[in-house]
Amino acid sequence: EAGVVQSPRYKIIEKKQPVAFWCNPISGHNTLYWYLQNLGQGPELLIRYENEEAVDDSQLPKDRFSAERLKGVDSTLKIQPAELGDSAVYLCASSFASGNTIYFGEGSWLTVV
């Protein structure tokens, strides 16, 4: 069974440019998460979806970050415009439902120069 799939794996962009990350969760998983991970730190939740509804986006910087999960399966996380401090790993994860074990993808590594 395929795990959580993310793309691109690596992205280098200049500051003020936009960037988008895509995630395909494990089949059958209704809950999808986007986490931010800075070097040497644990992941921090940005947004959590239950099906197509964003049920927790309190940590998402809404001035420049946006996310969508239109059909309740795949999801996209966008940053526009990117800042130097956005350089980090963006992890997508999924679970059958909130409260169940969360499985992570390999992450999208962003470098803003």
Sign (positive/negative) of CA torsion 27, 93, 6, 62? positive
Comparing CB distances to another protein, the nearer of 28 and 40 is 40
The answer to whether 40 contacts another protein (rule: CB under 8 A) is yes
Structure token digits, residue 24 = 């395909």
By CB under 8 A, residue 88 contacts another protein: no
Supply the DSSP symbol for 27. Answer: T
- Which of 24/43 has CB closer to another protein? 43
What part of residues 91-110 is at the interface with another protein (CB under 8 A)? 91, 93, 98-99, 101-107
Query: Radius of gyration (Cα) for the chain, nearest Å?
Result: 13
- Residue 86, SS3 per DSSP: helix
Minimum CB distance to another protein smaller for 52 or for 56 = 56
Instruction: Name residues contacting another protein, limited to 42-71 (CB under 8 A).
Output: 42-45, 48, 56
Judged by CB, which is closer to another protein: 68, or 106?
106
The residue type at 50: E
The three-class DSSP label of residue 89 is strand
Q: How far apart are CA 48 and CA 30, in angstroms?
A: 10
Residues that bind another protein (CB under 8 A): 4, 40-45, 48, 56, 91, 93, 98-99, 101-107
